[in-house]
Amino acid sequence: MRWLVIFFWIIGIFVGITRLGPAAWGQTSAPRKSSPDVFLITIDTLRADHVGCYGYKQVETPALDALAADGIRFTEAFTHSPITNTSHITILTGLLPSVHGVTDFGVPLSPKHATAAELLKKHGYQTAAFIGAVILDSNTLAPGLDRGFDFYDNFPVDSKNKERWGRLERRAGEVVEHAETWFEKHRAGPHFVWVHLYDPHDPYEPPPPFSEKYRDHLYDGEIAYADSAVARSIAVLKKAGVYDNAIIIVTGDHGEGLGEHGEETHGLFLYDSTLHIPLILKTAGAAHQGTVIDAQVRTTDILPTILSATGVAAPAELNGESLFPLIEANTGAQSQSNRALFGETDYPLRWGWAPLRALRTENTKLIEAPRPELYDLQADPKELKNLYAPDSSKAQSMKAQMAKWKAKFPPPTNSSKPGEALPDPKDKIDVQNLLHRAMLAGDDNRSSEARQFLEKALQIDPSSPTAFRQLGELELAAGDFSNAAVHLKRACELRPEDSSDAFELGEAMEKSGDWPGARDALESSLKLAPSQMSARLLLGHVYLQLKDAKNAEDQFEAALLVDPNNSEGRLGLAEAQIQQSDFADALTDLEAFTKTDPRNAAALRLLARVYRGLGRGQDAKRTEQQAGALEKR
Ligand SMILES: [Zn+2]
């Protein structure tokens, strides 16, 4: 049996070599002329049933329709996650959310998981990524997502911009323009380029003429606008002569609730409204023009398909399978793919509600929740009639399949403690919609609207820690620090395990001059999450205010262990040393600091104090003059 497996493996490699050109075994190798370009376009928040070639009549998506006509359209494609960064990491790693572990914003992608960019780069590909939203920024909310990309188009650091555009979001036109500029400068292939168009994500604000044409259904207007950006990219590829032999994949990271099941947006539930996405694959040449595949496929199948099409060896651990066997076997009749979808969302945990798991076969869906759900997808595609009965044979068999999936993968690290009964997200959707609306209003500086949404949310759920947290953040931004502290204190009482609540409470107290209160809040935040740089630095400053230089020194030293070059940490440490009359240590560090950063007036002021402490009056005077000159500018 084993020999048979090895035999087919060898045959497989041979077939790979002859059909696909360069087969490789994971080693770095020069690109072969025949290596096809790979262009991946993800359109955020794109429901399959709101795309023209998927049968929707109220939107014009000529670019997507034409691409589908040139390639393969998968009618039944599903995402494993309704959350942007989790879903994109699944697309780029071929791994389930519970396997790659990035189930919330800001969680770093472990270096042990290879990304599409890393795998293709090893094979001589030029790699670049162009993102449309700050939630995929690798410096902040999506650490590790840039791995393997020669260029990753992050957002500007420390933007003073208050507008959403440019600070949180880029329009599709701008994303595509950045990609074009890069492409012009990097014409030698092969390329792996990922373009992320965020536009259909709420709020729905398409630019003209889409804002006019789709005035009554702006979500569709955003889709039509994103399609126009796809059209522009395809035109660039055609003009450059690379379209025909390129592999082009267009998909969505998740759909949008649009009010189905009470869900306005996405993230909380695992219904098809947010899991069913379009998937279009144009292969190299005109090999599969106009093919339509109705078998169920998943976003974990995308990476294995790219690797198979480029002849790059797959890593040992992948949770999906190449789509090519399905494409080759497609005879027009509905093929049964046996590609069950394991859906996951830990997003409800952010509010203290139960995480959900779903198993979707082509006909049936089981949703594991405090109140489980079972749907017959053929008879009830909108999932309106919950057929779950614990003893029914269908429920039993789906539960057994679900147990097999779960047994294969470790439980999510932040899952609730066993036995802890968390509320069912179904009972909380109204609150979540309000919290989401408040967040958007806050982002857009419409703070009184945001307050109203939060007050409404607290009427429905008076013990929502997130509502208190968001109220606190609004007051922090408005400069009402003592009120901010009141709300954040309440959030901490309701959710004592949340380090960010405690950090923000510390921030509010520090700003309102309550040093002992700030110290206690920051100490408890750091106890929960010791590696937080900003909490550590702030606590150091609070100790300085409390005239407790020894403890301040400890905090700055701990911060410098994480980042030895942090300027704020180095200057804070010097201040603590000066307060303890430890001039010798402060001198060494400040002289080194001002050598590399001679225009830092604050560092020069500290250095002057050190000179004074050491009795070097002349040096102190000269340094003060330097600092004064810099401060005048
Ligand atoms: Zn998204």
Note the pLDDT tens digit of each residue in 342-383.
999 999 998 889 999 999 999 999 999 999 999 999 999 999
CA of 253 relative to ligand 1 center, distance in Å: 5
Question: Tell me: the pLDDT tens digits for 166-224?
Answer: 778 999 999 999 999 999 999 988 999 999 999 999 999 999 999 999 999 999 999 99
pLDDT surpasses 50 at 228:
yes
How many Å lie between the centroid of ligand 1 and the Cα of residue 383? 22
Mean pLDDT score of the chain: 90
Please check the confidence at residue 1 and state whether its pLDDT lies above 60.
no
Is the pTM higher than 0.75? The answer reads yes
Question: What is residue 483's predicted lDDT score, i.e. its pLDDT?
Answer: 95
Strand order in the sheet with 276-282: 151-153, 126-130, 191-197, 38-43, 247-252, 276-282, 72-78, 291-298
pLDDT score, position 32: 47
| Residue 3 confidence (pLDDT) above 50 | no
Q: State the average pLDDT over residues 120-137.
A: 96
Per-residue pLDDT at 159: 60
**Per-state percent for the chain, helix, strand, coil, to nearest 5:** 50, 10, 40
Q: Where are the beta strands (DSSP E) in 198-313?
A: 247-252, 276-282, 291-298
Spatial contact of 121 and 189, defined as CB atoms under 8 Å apart: no
pLDDT in tens, 278-305: 999 999 987 899 999 999 999 999 999 9
Dump pLDDT digits (tens) for 500-530.
Answer: 999 999 999 999 999 999 999 999 999 998 8
Contact 87, 253 (CB under 8 A): yes
* pLDDT value, residue 239: 95
C-alpha 135 to ligand 1 mean position (Å): 9
Is residue 9 pLDDT above 60, yes or no? no
pLDDT in tens, 318-334: 999 999 999 988 755 44
Q: How far apart are the CA of 597 and the centre of ligand 1, in A?
A: 41
**How far does the centroid of ligand 1 lie from the alpha carbon of residue 195, in Å?**
13
Distance in Å, CA 364 to ligand 1 centroid: 25
3-state secondary structure 120-174: HHCCCCEEEEECCEHHHCCCCCCCCCCCCCCEEECCCCCCCCCCCECCCECCHHH
pLDDT band at 336 (very low <50, low <70, confident <90, very high): low
Local confidence band at 15 (pLDDT 50, 70, 90 cut-offs): very low
Q: Are 492 and 502 in contact (CB under 8 A)?
A: yes
Average pLDDT for residues 398-409, to the nearest whole number? 88
pLDDT of residue 6: 34
45 CA distance to ligand 1 middle (Å): 5
Least confident stretch, 21-25, 253-257, 570-574: 21-25
Ligand 1 centroid to 85 CA: how many Å? 7
Of 607, 565, 567, which Cα lies nearest the Cα of 590? 607
Tell me how far apart the terminal alpha carbons of the chain are, to the nearest angstrom: 79
